[in-house]
Amino acid sequence: MPIYLNTYADRAKNHTNPAAKDLLEVIERKQSNLCISVDVTSSKDFLNIIDTVGPYVSLIKANFEPSLIPRLQDLSIKHDFLIFEDRKFADIGTLSTFQGNTVALQYSAGVHKIATCPGPSVIKGLATVGLPLGRGLLLLAEMSTAGALARGVYTEDAVRMARAARDFVVGFIAQHRMEGRDRGFFDFDPGVGLDTIGDGLGQQYRTPEQVILESGCDIIIVGRGIYGKVGNMDTGEVQRQAERYRNAGWDAYLQRLKCLRV
| 44 labelled ligand-binding | no
Contact status: 223 vs ligand BMP (CB under 6 A): yes
Contact status: 45 vs ligand BMP (CB under 6 A): no
Contact status: 129 vs ligand BMP (CB under 6 A): no
| 39 labelled ligand-binding | yes
- Choose, from 88, 182, 234, 258, the residue flagged as catalytic: 88
Q: Out of 58, 102, 144, 241, which residue is the one contacting ligand BMP (CB under 6 A)?
A: 144
Instruction: List Cβ neighbours of 209 (8 Å cut-off, separation of 6 or more).
Output: 248, 251, 252, 255
Q: Out of 60, 159, 169, 222, which residue is the one contacting ligand BMP (CB under 6 A)?
A: 222
Which position's Cβ is nearest ligand BMP? 223
Task: Identify which of residues 71 and 224 has a Cβ nearer to ligand BMP in the complex.
Answer: 224
Contact status: 208 vs ligand BMP (CB under 6 A): no
Instruction: List Cβ neighbours of 184 (8 Å cut-off, separation of 6 or more).
Output: 3, 11, 14, 15, 166
Q: Decide if 91 is catalytic.
A: yes
Task: Please name the helix (run of DSSP H) or strand (run of DSSP E) that holds residue 71, with its range, or none.
Answer: helix 69-79
| 224 labelled ligand-binding | yes
Q: Is 122 helix (H, G, I), strand (E, B) or coil?
A: helix
Q: Which of 48, 5, 52, 65 is nearest to 218 (CA)?
A: 5
Q: Decide if 229 is catalytic.
A: no
Would you say 24 and 30 are in contact if contact means Cβ atoms under 8 Å apart? no
Q: How far is the CB of 224 from ligand BMP (least distance, A)?
A: 3
Contact status: 178 vs ligand BMP (CB under 6 A): no
Q: Decide if 88 is catalytic.
A: yes
Contact status: 143 vs ligand BMP (CB under 6 A): yes
Q: How far is the CB of 126 from ligand BMP (least distance, A)?
A: 17
- Measured distance CA(154)–CA(157) in Å, rounded: 5
- Measured distance CA(196)–CA(54) in Å, rounded: 24
Listing from the earlier edge strand, what are the strands of the sheet with 82-85? 82-85, 59-62, 34-37, 219-222, 186-189, 169-173, 137-140
Q: Out of 221, 238, 248, 252, which residue is the one contacting ligand BMP (CB under 6 A)?
A: 221
Q: Out of 102, 106, 203, 207, which residue is the one contacting ligand BMP (CB under 6 A)?
A: 203
- Choose, from 51, 91, 157, 251, the residue flagged as catalytic: 91
- Measured distance CA(161)–CA(177) in Å, rounded: 16
- Choose, from 21, 30, 86, 113, the residue flagged as catalytic: 86
Contact status: 225 vs ligand BMP (CB under 6 A): yes
> b or e along 18-56 (b: 16 or more beta carbons within 10 Å of the residue's beta carbon)?
ebbbbbbbbbbebbbbbbbbbebeeeeebbbbbebbbbb
Contact status: 241 vs ligand BMP (CB under 6 A): no
Active site residues: 86, 88, 91
